[in-house]
């Protein structure tokens, strides 16, 4: 039976050493809860680092054995690996760049080497237990190379990947010297999950800019494998936070808080120590607030928990010192005999304490500079079962895309945070109820179990898409069938598209003339008297004459506007008009003027706007705009707008490769009909031909064709096997 393997840098476990013995206890993080329903079942397992260095072999064995009973498997790391892989590449290279703090990033070859080696270490342990029909779900930025490494060893295994931190814009990501390797690693997965739409968009953008890979919407084709990048905003264990308020221990702590802070409004903030969390800016905002609104003296406190983290990294040490200084400064400046404004704790607390604080605090202030999601904001919302309380939330946190009823602020705007604090403090109860109720509904519905289910279901769907694509691939076996049918047939009609089908994509349209190999292939194909080979292209008839006119080929040009039987003259489709061209030309011309690198190609019955030489991104943007404009102007003129590979073509609606194909076949009988093409316009041929025809799409996108081949090289190879 297939199993599920969860992989993350840290295992969901706490290990304490007591009298030389290791005591293991499950840790209660959100991810552990959400995935608990998975990894604890049957043969399933969670693989990761246990969180401490265990030098002795016998201790390693002891922990491994204890973990086996908990469905956990440890990857042991040495101190050097923790320094370079974890604190180094993960936290001093990837973390700052992915959180838009590129000035903090260090690009050290030694860090990268360790990152690579540790990813290999994870791979080896996974491969020792994984089987081809297992599902592997890998988490987070410490393991970006792992999907690719596993894919190499197990080409068909199902791999999901989820990134818990933001994926930065291409302009940031490209700074990393190993950017291509990182993307290739990630693309080993079948499904890549991100917290927000922007993250997945940035990822797709980085892939298409850095690697020779095309995307269609959120699907990327990686060597024939469809890889999907999608948004799965992570949720929390809603029920746990919603019900914890009634826990005896929490109640006890709540009473204590009520006693200590009677008549005082509490502003709560909870973060791991990190420069991405905006802790300094938040303190500055609170200081400004106390200065601007002196009437709140003795009436409000900032209750700030900072959980120690990464305190061997220099920036974190510096940050901690600065927080100390700022807190000290504010308290010294504003405190009275009965009151000091900032209650600051640099330590972690049991979850009961957090729950009591979530229940007690009037305001939760969450202002990260960047945050993948931010679970604290959701935990506060889930805890507010009375629907009162106000959440102030940074627009840079992934959570702000869902919790739109929070007071949303730009964390760099100290003035705005200050105003939001005042707004929160005076917000009428009905308004608090309205906002909190909406947010609680969101957090309740999109909880962590929902998140896990959505991701796992989607991963399964992606696998199915891949399998159905695979079934269409014209494999060597299938080719054999086609060869047999070809041999048996007495009369054959073969329709071949030109660009993208017989030759590759060329930035210069005029440079795509046939090479010697292609001439040779076409000559052999047409030498067989049983073959009628039709070159059916969108190119101008003059071009086809010049390149191919001397061969024993039938030619159809401009998608069917012109036809020439072998040895005969060119005929154009009767009744076509080209009066429309002038007006449309003017529109295309304005786009050409605005878009450096674009140009217009004029054919007898069509106009083509080319943008293959335009800056990546700009071309697509203008093309989208242009299609919109053209649809409006062409709707009443009997014209069609066809977006293609870096082109947009406008032509008479009567012209269509499918119709041209049927016309050509009219009144004739063939016992073997085959068509090969790569773009939109070839779909008309595939649809027009009878079901028993051999239709082959070049490229594995969705198509009406029965089979597909990967590229023009495969087409040439395949045709060669026929002759």
- Please give the positions annotated as active site: 497
Nearer to ligand GDG, 14 or 335 (CB): 14
Q: Does the footprint of ligand GDG cover residue 265 (CB under 6 A)?
A: no
Nearer to ligand GDG, 30 or 36 (CB): 30
Q: Does the footprint of ligand GDG cover residue 272 (CB under 6 A)?
A: yes
- Among 114, 268, 270, 584, contact with ligand GDG (rule: CB under 6 A): 270
Nearest C-alpha neighbor of 496 from the set 234, 669, 712: 712
Q: In this structure, are residues 186 and 422 in contact, taking their beta carbons and an 8 Å threshold?
A: no
Nearer to ligand GDG, 50 or 235 (CB): 235
HSE toward the beta carbon, residue 655, CA cutoff 13 A: 32
Q: Does the footprint of ligand GDG cover residue 142 (CB under 6 A)?
A: no
Nearer to ligand GDG, 270 or 330 (CB): 270
- Cα distance between residue 458 and residue 232, in whole Å: 10
- Cα distance between residue 555 and residue 103, in whole Å: 59
DSSP secondary structure letters along 367-432: --SSBSS-HHHHHHHHH-TTS--EEEEETTBGGGGT-TTSEEE-TT-HHHHHHHHHHHHH--HHHH
- Cα distance between residue 237 and residue 31, in whole Å: 9
Strand positions, DSSP E, 189-245:
191-194, 215-216, 219-222, 225-231
- Among 154, 373, 614, 665, contact with ligand GDG (rule: CB under 6 A): 373
Minimum gap (Å) between residue 305 Cβ and ligand GDG:
6
Minimum gap (Å) between residue 29 Cβ and ligand GDG:
6
Minimum gap (Å) between residue 87 Cβ and ligand GDG:
15
Phi and psi torsions of 459, nearest 5°: -60, -40
Q: In this structure, are residues 308 and 346 in contact, taking their beta carbons and an 8 Å threshold?
A: yes
Q: Which range touches ligand GDG (CB under 6 A), out of 249-257, 372-380, 641-649, 651-659?
A: 372-380
Minimum gap (Å) between residue 360 Cβ and ligand GDG:
15
- Among 87, 184, 199, 371, contact with ligand GDG (rule: CB under 6 A): 371
Nearer to ligand GDG, 12 or 30 (CB): 30
Minimum gap (Å) between residue 455 Cβ and ligand GDG:
12
Nearer to ligand GDG, 169 or 348 (CB): 348
Q: Which range touches ligand GDG (CB under 6 A), out of 371-379, 496-504, 613-621, 682-690?
A: 371-379
In terms of Cβ atoms closer than 10 Å to its own Cβ (0-12, 13-18, 19+), residue 92 is: buried
Name the 3-class secondary structure at 457. helix
- Among 4, 359, 374, 531, contact with ligand GDG (rule: CB under 6 A): 374
Minimum gap (Å) between residue 596 Cβ and ligand GDG:
39
Site for ligand GDG in 10-39 (CB under 6 A): 30
- Among 92, 184, 190, 379, contact with ligand GDG (rule: CB under 6 A): 379
- Cα distance between residue 220 and residue 214, in whole Å: 6
Cα–Cα distances in Å, from 107 out to 101, 183, 485?
Answer: 13, 17, 58
HEC per residue, 246-315 = HCHHHHHHHHHHHHHCCCCEEEEEEEECCHHHCHHHHHHHHHHHHHHCHHHCCCEEEEEEEECCCCCCHH
Site for ligand GDG in 337-366 (CB under 6 A): 348-349, 351, 354
Q: Which range touches ligand GDG (CB under 6 A), out of 50-58, 181-189, 219-227, 369-377?
A: 369-377
Give the number of residues in contact with ligand GDG, rule: CB under 6 A. 19
Name the 3-class secondary structure at 279. helix
Minimum gap (Å) between residue 637 Cβ and ligand GDG:
52
The neighbouring-strand residues paired with 37 are none
**How many other CB atoms sit within 10 Å of the CB of residue 298?**
16
- Among 36, 148, 372, 560, contact with ligand GDG (rule: CB under 6 A): 372
Nearer to ligand GDG, 373 or 608 (CB): 373
Q: What is the DSSP letter of 499?
A: B
**How many other CB atoms sit within 10 Å of the CB of residue 284?**
16
Q: What is the largest CA-CA distance in the chain?
A: 106
Site for ligand GDG in 220-249 (CB under 6 A): 234
- Among 375, 416, 509, 648, contact with ligand GDG (rule: CB under 6 A): 375
Minimum gap (Å) between residue 376 Cβ and ligand GDG:
4
DSSP H or E segment with residue 47 = strand 45-49
- Cα distance between residue 251 and residue 665, in whole Å: 83
Q: Which range touches ligand GDG (CB under 6 A), out of 368-376, 385-393, 497-505, 669-677?
A: 368-376
Alpha helices by DSSP H, 145-196? 146-153, 170-173, 179-186
Site for ligand GDG in 65-94 (CB under 6 A): none
Site for ligand GDG in 157-216 (CB under 6 A): 164-165
Minimum gap (Å) between residue 268 Cβ and ligand GDG:
11
- Cα distance between residue 139 and residue 334, in whole Å: 45
Kindly list the residues in this chain that would bind ligand GDG in the complex (CB under 6 A).
Answer: 30, 164-165, 234, 270, 272, 305, 307, 348-349, 351, 354, 371-376, 379
């Amino acid at each position: 039976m297939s199993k599920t393997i969860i992989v993350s840098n840290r295992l969901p476990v706490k290990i304490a050493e007591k009298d030389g013995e290791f005591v293991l206890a499950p840790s209660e993080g959100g991810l552990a809860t959400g995935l608990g329903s998975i990894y604890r079942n049957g043969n399933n397992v969670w693989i990761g680092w246990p969180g401490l260095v265990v030098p002795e072999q016998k201790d390693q064995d002891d922990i491994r054995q204890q973990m086996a009973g908990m469905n956990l498997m440890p990857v042991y790391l040495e101190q050097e690996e923790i320094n370079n892989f974890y604190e180094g590449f993960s936290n001093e290279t990837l973390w700052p760049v992915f959180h838009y703090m590129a000035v903090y990033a260090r690009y050290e070859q030694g860090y990268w080497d360790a990152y690579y080696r540790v990813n290999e270490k994870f791979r080896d342990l996974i491969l020792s237990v994984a089987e081809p029909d297992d599902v592997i779900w890998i988490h987070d930025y410490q393991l970006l190379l792992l999907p690719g490494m596993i894919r190499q060893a197990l080409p068909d295994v199902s791999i999901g990947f989820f990134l818990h931190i933001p994926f930065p814009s291409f302009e940031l990501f490209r700074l990393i010297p190993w950017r291509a390797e990182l993307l290739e690693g990630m693309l080993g997965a079948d499904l890549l999950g991100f917290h927000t739409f922007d993250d997945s968009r940035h990822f797709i953008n980085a892939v298409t800019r850095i690697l020779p890979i095309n995307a269609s919407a959120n699907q990327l084709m990686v060597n024939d494998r469809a890889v999907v990048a999608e948004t799965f905003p992570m949720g929390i264990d809603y029920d746990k936070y919603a019900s914890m308020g009634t826990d005896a221990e929490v109640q006890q702590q709540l009473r204590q808080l009520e006693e200590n802070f009677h008549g005082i409004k509490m502003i709560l903030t909870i973060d791991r120590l990190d420069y991405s969390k905006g802790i300094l800016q938040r303190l500055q905002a609170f200081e400004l607030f106390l200065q601007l609104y002196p009437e709140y003296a003795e009436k409000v406190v900032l209750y700030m928990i900072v959980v120690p983290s990464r305190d061997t990294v220099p920036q974190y040490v510096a940050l901690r010192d600065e927080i100390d200084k700022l807190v000290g400064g504010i308290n010294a400046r504003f405190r009275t005999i009965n009151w000091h404004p900032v209650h600051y704790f640099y330590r972690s607390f049991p979850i009961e304490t957090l729950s009591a604080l979530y229940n007690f605090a009037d305001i939760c202030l969450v202002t990260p500079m960047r945050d993948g999601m931010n679970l604290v904001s959701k935990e506060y919302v889930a805890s507010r079962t009375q629907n009162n309380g106000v959440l102030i939330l940074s627009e840079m946190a992934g959570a702000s895309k869902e919790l739109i009823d929070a007071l949303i602020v730009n964390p760099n705007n100290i003035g705005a945070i200050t105003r939001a604090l005042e707004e929160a403090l005076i917000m009428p109860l009905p308004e608090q109820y309205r906002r909190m109720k909406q947010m609680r509904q969101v957090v309740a519905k999109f909880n962590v179990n929902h998140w896990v289910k959505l991701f796992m279901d989607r991963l399964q769907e992606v696998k199915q898409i891949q399998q159905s694509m695979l079934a269409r691939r014209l494999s060597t076996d299938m080719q054999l069938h086609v060869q047999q049918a070809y041999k048996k047939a007495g009369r054959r009609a073969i329709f071949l598209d030109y660009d993208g089908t017989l030759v590759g994509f060329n930035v210069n349209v005029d440079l795509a003339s046939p090479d010697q190999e292609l001439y040779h292939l076409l000559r052999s194909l047409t030498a067989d008297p049983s073959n009628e080979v039709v070159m059916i292209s969108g190119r101008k008839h003059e071009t086809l004459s010049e390149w191919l006119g001397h061969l024993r080929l039938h030619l159809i040009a401009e998608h069917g506007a012109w036809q020439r039987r072998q040895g005969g003259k060119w005929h154009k489709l009767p009744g076509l008009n080209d009066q429309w061209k002038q007006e449309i030309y003017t529109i295309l011309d304005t786009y050409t003027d605005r878009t450096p690198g674009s140009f217009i190609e004029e054919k007898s019955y069509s106009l083509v706007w080319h943008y293959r030489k335009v800056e990546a991104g700009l071309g697509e943007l203008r093309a989208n705009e242009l299609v919109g404009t053209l649809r409006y102007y062409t709707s009443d003129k009997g014209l069609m707008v066809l977006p293609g590979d870096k082109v947009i073509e406008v032509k008479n609606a009567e012209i269509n490769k499918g119709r041209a194909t049927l016309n050509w076949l009219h009144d004739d009988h063939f016992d073997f009909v085959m068509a090969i093409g790569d773009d939109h316009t070839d779909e008309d041929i595939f649809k027009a031909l009878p079901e028993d025809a051999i239709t082959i799409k070049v490229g594995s996108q969705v198509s009406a064709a029965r089979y597909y081949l990967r590229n023009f090289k495969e087409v040439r190879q395949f045709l060669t096997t026929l002759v």
